[in-house]
Structure 1
Amino acid sequence: MTKKRIYWICQVGGWTALILSELAIYTLEGEVTTGDFFFALANILVCVLLTHFYRLIVREQNWVSLPVYQIALRVIISGLSLGLLMTLMNYPIDLKVLKDTFKSQPYIFFADWLSWSKSMFMWVLSYTVYHYVEHKLDAEIERILLKTSIKESEAKVLRSQLNPHFVFNALNSIRALVSEDPSKAQQGVTQLSNILRNSLLADRRKTVELREELKTVEDYLSLEKVRYEERLKADFHIDPKTVYLQVPPMMLQTLVENAIKHGVQKAMSGGFVQVTTFLEGDYVHIHIRNTGILAKKDSIDKQKEASGFGLENTERRLHLLYGEDAKFRIFQESEEVVRAEIIVPTQTEGVFKSGSSLSFSKLTSQTS
């Protein structure tokens, strides 16, 4: 049943029940003529028309968006005004029927006005309160949807970020391999293509399986290995129970890229990157250790300034996706080792494949 139909049922049914009940009480006190019955029907019609006119004004002027005190003032004035109109309409009939009563009780007019105003006020108040609450709920829903839309848009932008300097360096490395090692150059093009594809797909998916993210890291490190050769070593300690769990796309690659750019690259003799994952309760832990020194010990804000977009990207994405359930920190583990830690709630898509594991021997051989 539509709102419009419910409204008219309540309008006609409510006023009919009220006025006919008063007519029934009047019948018990004296004789009721056919004229009284038709006059009661006329009252019903006028009440419906007046209150419907009030409804049109409320909707046209959008009263429900006003402050509460302004709405309250309008409700009181409307109730008194509508009650006065009904009293004035009934006054000629009442004066004719109750002529002697009006002479002995001159204030009966105000009693009738108060009676009609009470009925009108109850209708006006009920209608206004209902639509005021409905308006507030709709506004809150719109606010939440808008906030969610903004967060989703921001998250898509963050997920699709890829450092253009990496692409530039990777293309230069592949160009150098074209004449030296064509097969390796071909492999490099495939790896770069995989990374770019995952970057483009990242804005369509909130999370991916950890194994997909590790494959992106594998391709990334393989391309970086062309530049750094023996100066770059990689080590992986992956818990097989974590490989099918969901993590934000391109996040791990961003942190590994940050580890190389601000750690291994600055070390005179090169360095290492170590990725470790394990389960602890209902959370998956991801640790990235690398050669490096923070701009200032125990200062993540300083590291953000030194690292550029990578760490800020990670922290904002985790907050948008998991809220307070996710944790991220980066700190100086030892004199020449930096560690970044990510803790996110465990999520899976489909049935967890127990006992399954990935082989990282190929990755280790390519990057160590």
Structure 2
Amino acid sequence: MTRNNSYWLFQSVGWFIYGMIGVVVAFLFYENVDVWVILAQFFSAVIMLISTHLLRYKMKLDGWLKLKIQKLILRLVPTLIIISILANGIVVGYTILTTEIIEVEKFSITVFLLFSFQTFVYFSLWTALYLIIYFFRNYKKEEVEKWRLQTAVKDAELIALKAQINPHFLFNALNNIRALILEDHMKARDMVSHLSELLRYSIQFNDNEKVTVEEELEIVNKYLELESIHYENRLHYEILSKKELKKCKIPPMLIQLMAENAVKHGISQVKNGGDILISVDQEDNDLVLEVSNTGKLKKNLGNGIGLRNATERIRILFDSEPDLDLTEQGNMVRSRLKLPIVK
């Protein structure tokens, strides 16, 4: 059952019971209870239902449910007073016109205010119950989303470890470094440092749900430097990013995954190698991550587990649907990902 369906079910049943209680009270304390008296009780229940529904609509429309409790109370109390007086005025007017329960001669402003206070109490109890259910459901939803996030991040870690720290990658990197030791021992030392940083980042990134663009680009640069040794003169790359965007937060290993796809599905498939261009830009309120590489677009690339997992992490972390676009232009393949800017 959906939230909306359950809301209307409880609303209908709750106020129907309220009407039935009114009918029972009428039979116990009034004489000559006829059909009009019974209709008056259910008319009161219908007015209560409509009033509480309008209150719920206003709370949701004006964003009251996102306010702190003090500000919420400051808005609710005067609103409850107003709707209590209006609802009670409608019910009293209908009852006077259709029944003889209320004696007009004895009716006064004091009696009206007492009736209105009674209605205010009912509305206050309804509001308290609604808020308790609402916040409890949201709390449970946040707990579920938290567990989903932890599961997604754990899955992403396993995928990243499988993709990055596999024997083939390590074998190539270590062999290339070994060959460099005799040719250029300083560069070999730098490559060992890059490999160490890459492995440490890949293993430890699960400790953080988000990293800065700057941190991510640093590790991507180290990864591409290692791969450029393996492909020698076949791989050329460039990384561009606006300075003001480097502190933006993204899921870890996101650009790294895009760069790895560019190498795996692009450069490694081209005989003479090619270029990789990585850029971080801004489009309205979105961060745009773009990786272009020499090669041809594979039809099933967009269905890869890594890309699916990355977009799922973005959806959970940023509560937004990411926009992933894979296109081919000439001899270049462009992977473009848009996500909200978070600093």
Tell me which interval the TM-score lies in, with the shorter structure as reference length.
0.5 to 0.7
Q: Which residue of 2 aligns with 1:251?
A: 254
Pair 178,333 (structure 1): closer, same or farther in 2 beyond 3 Å:
closer
Residues 207 and 248 of structure 1 are in contact (CA less than 8 Å); yes or no, is this contact kept in structure 2?
yes
Q: Which residue of 2 aligns with 1:233?
A: 236
Q: 145, 150, 159: which is aligned to 1:148?
A: 145
- Secondary structure at the residue paired with 1:329? strand
Deviations 1:253-309 (A, max 9, x none): 00000111111111122222111233455444332110121124xxxxx3323xx22
Amino acid at match of 1:142: Y
What residue ranges of structure 1 are gaps of 5+ in the alignment? 1-63, 88-104, 297-301, 349-368
Pair 74,238 (structure 1): closer, same or farther in 2 beyond 3 Å:
closer
Amino acid at match of 1:313: N
Q: Distance in 2 between matches of 1:147 and 1:312?
A: 20
- Secondary structure at the residue paired with 1:289? strand
Amino acid at match of 2:338: I
- Secondary structure at the residue paired with 2:298? coil
What residue ranges of structure 2 are gaps of 5+ in the alignment? 1-6, 42-100, 102-114
Q: Which residue of 2 aligns with 1:71?
A: 14
Q: Which residue of 2 aligns with 1:172?
A: 171
Deviations 1:121-176 (A, max 9, x none): 97995686345424432343234423532453355336534152431223212442
Q: Which residue of 1 aligns with 2:332?
A: 337
How far off is 1:79 after superposition? 5.5
Matched, 1:304 2:302: yes
How far off is 1:85 after superposition? 12
Residues 149 and 313 of structure 2 are in contact (CA less than 8 Å); yes or no, is this contact kept in structure 1?
no
How far off is 1:199 after superposition? 2.9
TM-score (norm 1): 0.55
- Secondary structure at the residue paired with 2:200? helix
TM-score (norm 2): 0.59
How far off is 1:215 after superposition? 0.9
Matched, 1:136 2:133: yes
Q: How does 1:306-325 map to 2 (within 5 A)?
A: 308-324=304-320
Q: Which residue of 2 aligns with 1:214?
A: 217
Residues 280 and 288 of structure 2 are in contact (CA less than 8 Å); yes or no, is this contact kept in structure 1?
yes
Q: How does 1:75-224 map to 2 (within 5 A)?
A: 75-78=18-21, 83=25, 129-130=126-127, 132-157=129-154, 160=157, 161-167=159-165, 168-177=167-176, 179-182=178-181, 183=185, 187-224=190-227
How far off is 1:337 after superposition? 0.9
Q: Distance in 2 between matches of 1:227 and 1:155?
A: 32
- Secondary structure at the residue paired with 1:287? strand
Q: Which residue of 2 aligns with 1:274?
A: 277
Choose 1 or 2 for highest CA Rg. 1
Pair 127,276 (structure 1): closer, same or farther in 2 beyond 3 Å:
closer
- Secondary structure at the residue paired with 1:237? strand
Q: Distance in 2 between matches of 1:169 and 1:216?
A: 19
**How well do the aligned residues superpose, as a CA RMSD in angstroms?**
4.1
How far off is 1:326 after superposition? 5.0
Q: Distance in 1 between matches of 2:161 and 2:190?
A: 21
- Secondary structure at the residue paired with 2:160? coil
State the identity as a percent. Answer: 21
Q: 324, 328, 332: which is aligned to 2:324?
A: 328
Q: Which residue of 2 aligns with 1:5?
A: none
